[in-house]
Amino acid sequence: MMINKVEICGVNTSKLPLLTNEEMRELFKRMRAGDSGAREKLIQGNLRLVLSVIQRFTNRGEFVDDLFQVGCIGLMKAIDNFDLEQNVKFSTYAVPMIIGEIRRYLRDNNPIRVSRSLRDVAYRALQARDALVNKYAREPSVGEIAQEINLPPEEVILALDAIQEPVSLFEPIYHDGGDPIYVMDQIGDEKNHDTNWLESIAVREALNKLSERERLILSLRFFEGKTQMEVAEEIGISQAQVSRLEKAALNHMRKYI
């Protein structure tokens, strides 16, 4: 996927204009007065915002041109619905709408099939969510969204969960310059009580070679099924430290077993 190419959808991204806050406000006023040229200038002046958003989706295997076009639709919706009277920067308002439009596009192209009825409920909920954000300038609760579309909150949650994209267990969610922390590091295993593993002489000897803190971390993680965050809170260190100590301890054990 070529995210660094200069031309996307026939637009030379290296020459996109930038608008100041004063220029933005003036263009919005002109657009509200019926000046279609002002709307076009607002779109052109905020295409860099679309480019910055699609960077978040570069690992999905989608064509940049497609994501850019979909992002532009979200940008135009944000421009058409933005209220100058609200004390909110346009970029703060527009970015969630651009992201939402791209996510809807990705859901529509998701190979995992969701029933049409669930999808319809989910899209109604997303539309209600966008309307409530525009109305109150804040993120609405599930209860507010459910009330807006006259459905039980449980049905809204079920529908929104159904259209969520699957996440790889090996997707990194945090990086502090050292070892990354993956989704799988956040998942606890409540069924991990394999006593045979503890009864292995080789494993017991390997555990005895570890420091007290390393043994404690492995015990909490693999025998009590706790997440790295839970372990970090229990022993009073950061999650990143837990991740590094856990990996180091496992590497040491592999040498002894």
Give residue 35's pLDDT band: very low, low, confident or very high (50, 70, 90): confident
Query: What would the pLDDT profile of 145-198 be if each residue is shown by its tens digit?
Result: 989 999 888 888 878 777 666 555 555 555 555 566 665 555 555 544 444 444
- Choose the CATH number for 110-166 among 1.20.1050.10, 3.10.310.30, 3.90.470.20, 1.10.10.10: 1.10.10.10
Q: Which comes out higher in pLDDT, residue 82 or 166?
A: 82
pLDDT at 202: 62
| Separation CA 156–CA 167 (nearest Å) | 21
Which string of b and e fits 55-67 if b means at least 16 CB within 10 Å? eebeeeebebbeb
Residues ≥6 apart with Cβ < 8 Å to 115:
162
Give yes or no for a contact between 229 and 236, defined as CB atoms under 8 angstroms apart: no
| Separation CA 223–CA 212 (nearest Å) | 16
pLDDT at 76: 92
| Separation CA 3–CA 241 (nearest Å) | 34
pLDDT at 49: 85
Indicate the domain borders of the chain: 1-89, 110-166, 172-256
**CATH topology for 172-256?**
Arc Repressor Mutant, subunit A (1.10.10)
Partnered with residue 8 across adjacent β-strands are 11
DSSP string across the chain? --SS-SEETTEEGGG-----HHHHHHHHHHHHTT-HHHHHHHHHHTHHHHHHHHGGGTTS---HHHHHHHHHHHHHHHHHH--TTSS--HHHHHHHHHHHHHHHHHHHT-SS---HHHHHHHHHHHHHHHHHHHHHSSPPPHHHHHHHTTS-HHHHHHHHHHTSPP--TT-EEE-SSSS-EEGGGG---TT---HHHHH-HHHHHHHHTS-HHHHHHHIIIIIS---HHHHHHHHTS-HHHHHHHHHHHHHHHHHH-
Query: What would the pLDDT profile of 41-56 be if each residue is shown by its tens digit?
Result: 998 888 888 888 888 7
Measured in degrees and rounded to the nearest 5, phi and psi for residue 23 equal: -65, -40
| Separation CA 218–CA 235 (nearest Å) | 12
| Separation CA 156–CA 149 (nearest Å) | 9
Partnered with residue 174 across adjacent β-strands are 181
pLDDT at 155: 85
Q: What is the mean pLDDT of the chain?
A: 77
Average pLDDT for 190-208: 56
Question: Which of 24-28, 72-76, 147-151, 236-240 has the lowest average pLDDT?
Answer: 236-240
Q: Do domains 110-166 and 172-256 have the same CATH topology?
A: yes
pLDDT at 256: 64
pLDDT at 218: 83
pLDDT at 198: 45
